Amino acid sequence: MKNGSKIFLIIALLAGVVIFMLLKRGSNYSSSGSGKPAASNSQQAAALENMTASKPIAEAASRQIIAYYFHGTVRCTTCLAIEQQAKALMEQRFTPQLASQRLLFIPVNYDLPENRHFIPDYKLPCPSLVLVQKKNGVDEKWKLLGDTWQLITEPAKFDNYVETEIRGFLEQIPSDGSLNSAQPPASAAR
């Protein structure tokens, strides 16, 4: 083998090892930098099911809004910022709805084999925040919040946008769990 071919082979091998390590690290540890192993999406789903199963299921819980933050294994600073900002907004402004489980925030890694179906299901162009109105676990409507990428550098506008969209979805589900007779907002397109 010629020296040039050997060097190329070594560089390609090193690059492969680095990529493997980054992917492994990203899937095993939380993005918060705490160094603690992160729960997998299946563990998060099981925890969510256990949490729901431990409470008597009320009619209100049969209708929910889920704010999914879909992301890949390798994440950029902007992707992490969108997730953190959206989660913080919901925790600050939607505490009662989160406590009653009318609203849930669920991050999902769409690179995992069991989650890849979400990409075509919600027409995900990239890491995205998606609001989904569910009734008894079945999607009734959903909306991809595509402006989050443009607004993340303007926190007040980002918060206003996300809050307005969530409130629009929540207005369709009163606290008693029944569906309002009003038609969904035209902006909540599928």
Domain extent for 28? 1-38
Return the pLDDT at 172. Answer: 84
Q: Are residues 31 and 46 in the same domain?
A: no
Residue 58 lies in a domain: yes
Contact status, residue 68 vs residue 124, Cβ threshold 8 Å: no
The rounded mean pLDDT for the chain is 74
Contact status, residue 78 vs residue 141, Cβ threshold 8 Å: no
Residue 186 lies in a domain: no
Residue 151 lies in a domain: yes
For residue 63, the domain's CATH number is: 3.40.30.10
Query: What global pTM score does this model have?
Result: 0.62
Q: Are residues 16 and 76 in the same domain?
A: no
Rounded Cα distance, 30 and 87, in Å: 15
Residue 27 lies in a domain: yes
Q: Are residues 80 and 101 in the same domain?
A: yes
Q: Are residues 6 and 56 in the same domain?
A: no
Q: For residue range 10-59, what is the model confidence (pLDDT) as tens digits?
A: 665 555 544 544 444 443 333 333 333 344 444 444 434 433 333 333 44
Q: For residue range 59-95, what is the model confidence (pLDDT) as tens digits?
A: 445 789 999 999 999 999 999 999 999 999 999 999 9
Residue 176 lies in a domain: no
Helix (H) or strand (E) holding 139: strand 138-144
Q: Are residues 114 and 25 in the same domain?
A: no
pLDDT band at 189, cuts 50/70/90? very low
∠95-168-139 over CA atoms, to 5°?
Answer: 90
Residue 88 lies in a domain: yes
- Which has the minimum average pLDDT: 149-153, 163-167, 176-180, 183-187? 183-187
Q: In sequence order, which ranges of the chain are alpha helices (DSSP H)?
A: 3-28, 41-53, 59-62, 77-93, 95-99, 118-121, 148-151, 155-170
3-state secondary structure of 138: strand
Q: Are residues 45 and 33 in the same domain?
A: no
